Amino acid sequence: MRHTWRWFGPVDKVTVQDAAQAGARGIVSALHHIPTGDVWPVDEIAKRHAEIKAGGLFWDVVESVPVSEDVKTQTGDWRTHVDNWKETLRRLSDSGIRTVCYNFMPVLDWTRTDLRWETRHAARAMRFDLSDFVAFDIHILKRPDAASDYPESLQDAAGRRFSEMNDEKIAALGRNIGAGLPGSADGYTLDQLLEKLRTYQGITTQKLQTHLVDFLAEVVPVAEQVNINICAHPDDPPWPLLGLPRILSTQADYAYILDMVDSRANGMTLCSGSLGARADNDLPAIVERFASRIHFVHLRNVTRDDDSLPCSFYEDEHLEGGTDMVAVIAALLREEKRRRDEGREDHEIPMRPDHGQEILDDVRRGAQPGYPAIGRLKGLAELRGIERTLSHAQYGMR
């Protein structure tokens, strides 16, 4: 695999040179300062390439070109936003980009209740606590009819949890859940979040799926023309939140969109952490099922409090947690070999160590939550070790 590293641009406390020293060969980045729905300017794309090259690496993957809420709901300026998305693909292709990641999560991107939860070793990790989340939904956000989405036992647990919160905890929970895309300055106040939720009234799971297929029917032909693979990131966490549908949470969800728009350019971002938050997702089986359509890989691991759905979980060390990382990497290496034998130019799948625990000096650096320098270095080293061992033992690769 091609080892890459997410970099949020010049504001990132972890530099491109840090990524190179950690063992990365390429960078995953995006233009977070460009408003969602706008075309990415050619000069800004060139500037980001230059910034990355100055650190000694190359811009391999765009994560993400955001899909606007207008596109997801097919309201407002959605047709213009789709056209702009297509033009951005053309410009990225002209600059040499061949892989573009996106997601189709309504309103909220990845969602955590705690961004720096203390682990058993006093490291800091991101956590989704279900009781905290329900307490936020019912007692802090006060979403109409929120209680009806949860069993009575969970309502009671959330009520007890809320009664124990001080003002600081309540404010922090609101900030954490209302955060925007990683690296962006976007985010929602409680009133803004409620207003966004109202725009999804009448948007069922089936309708959101249809809107995604409509979007793909428009953009995939352009991706084919300009030799770019686009790849959908799974829901994180992979179940409905705040009464909103989620449509990229399971193997069946991906089978639907990949079959409906059957093109190699229409693929998936395999995120072992997002999908691994569900006990009913078999990660090695998912890799085998969609191997030829996996264009980008996020490798991380989560430990679930239990196997119920939904559940609480935290982001564990890369080789701990519920996902068999050795089996996942072995399946990916088999796919890479198949692609090489087939003569495919995209035989080397870009992978990045997704997230990481804050360890050692990470806390003092103050990087983006989930994206510390040393925690990710540790994860990448462990993942590279598995890959190298399997490559030698099973395939005689160098």
Return the structure tokens found at 277.
Answer: 């938050």
Return the structure tokens found at 200.
Answer: 């999804």
- The catalytically annotated residue of 211, 233, 295, 318 is 233
d(CA 239, CA 122): 29
User: Known catalytic residue: 392?
Assistant: no
- The catalytically annotated residue of 60, 70, 354, 362 is 354
- The catalytically annotated residue of 188, 200, 254, 371 is 371
Q: For residues 315 and 370, is the Cβ–Cβ distance under 8 A?
A: yes
User: Known catalytic residue: 355?
Assistant: yes
Return the structure tokens found at 156.
Answer: 């009671």
Return the structure tokens found at 198.
Answer: 């109202």
d(CA 126, CA 37): 29
d(CA 367, CA 76): 36
Return the structure tokens found at 373.
Answer: 């320098």
CA atoms within 13 A on the CB side of 370: 28
User: Known catalytic residue: 295?
Assistant: no
User: Known catalytic residue: 81?
Assistant: no
- The catalytically annotated residue of 70, 271, 314, 318 is 271
> Do you find a cis peptide bond into 274, omega within 30 degrees of 0?
no
Letter for the amino acid at 143? R
d(CA 95, CA 81): 21
User: Known catalytic residue: 33?
Assistant: no
Please give the backbone phi and psi of residue 118, each rounded to the nearest 5 degrees, phi first.
-85, 125
User: Known catalytic residue: 32?
Assistant: no
Q: For residues 263 and 220, is the Cβ–Cβ distance under 8 A?
A: yes
Letter for the amino acid at 259? D
- The catalytically annotated residue of 3, 32, 211, 298 is 298
Q: List active site positions.
A: 233, 271, 298, 354-355, 371
